[in-house]
Amino acid sequence: MKLFIYHTPELTPKDTKPDCAIAVDVLRATTTMATVLNAGAEAVQVFSDINQLMEVSENWPIEKRLRAGERGGSMVQGFDLGNSPLDCTPERVQGCRLFLTTTNGTRALKCVENAPTVLAAAFVNRAAVVKYLVEKQPETLWLVGSGWEGSFSLEDTACAGAIAHSLLTHLNCSEAELAGNDEVIGAIALYSQWQDRLLDMFHHASHGQRLLRLNCHEDLKYCAEIDILDVLPIQKEAGVLVKN
pLDDT tens for residues 24-55? 999 999 999 999 999 999 999 999 889 999 99
Strand partners, 5: 143
Instruction: Tell me the whole-structure pTM to 2 decimals.
Output: 0.95
Judged against a pLDDT cut of 80, whether residue 214 lies above it is answered with yes
> What would the mean pLDDT of 202-226 be, rounded to a whole number?
96
Higher model confidence: residue 236 or residue 104?
A: 236
Strands 20-24, 140-145: parallel, antiparallel or unpaired by DSSP?
parallel
Q: Which of 213, 207, 214 is nearest to 29 (CA)?
A: 207
pLDDT class for 128, splitting at 50, 70, 90? Answer: very high
> Is the pLDDT at 102 greater than 90, yes or no?
no
In this predicted structure, the answer to whether residue 71 has a pLDDT above a threshold of 90 is no
In the chain the beta strands, taken as DSSP E runs, fall at 2-6, 20-24, 43-46, 65-71, 74-75, 97-101, 117-121, 140-145, 233-237, 240-243
Interatomic CA distance for residues 100 and 97, integer angstroms: 9
Give the count of beta carbons closer than 10 Å to the beta carbon of residue 236.
Answer: 12
**CA 123 to each of CA 16, 40, 152, 161, 226: distance values in angstroms, whole numbers, following the listed order:** 27, 20, 17, 10, 5
Helix (H, G, I), strand (E, B) or coil at 43: strand
pLDDT of residue 30: 96
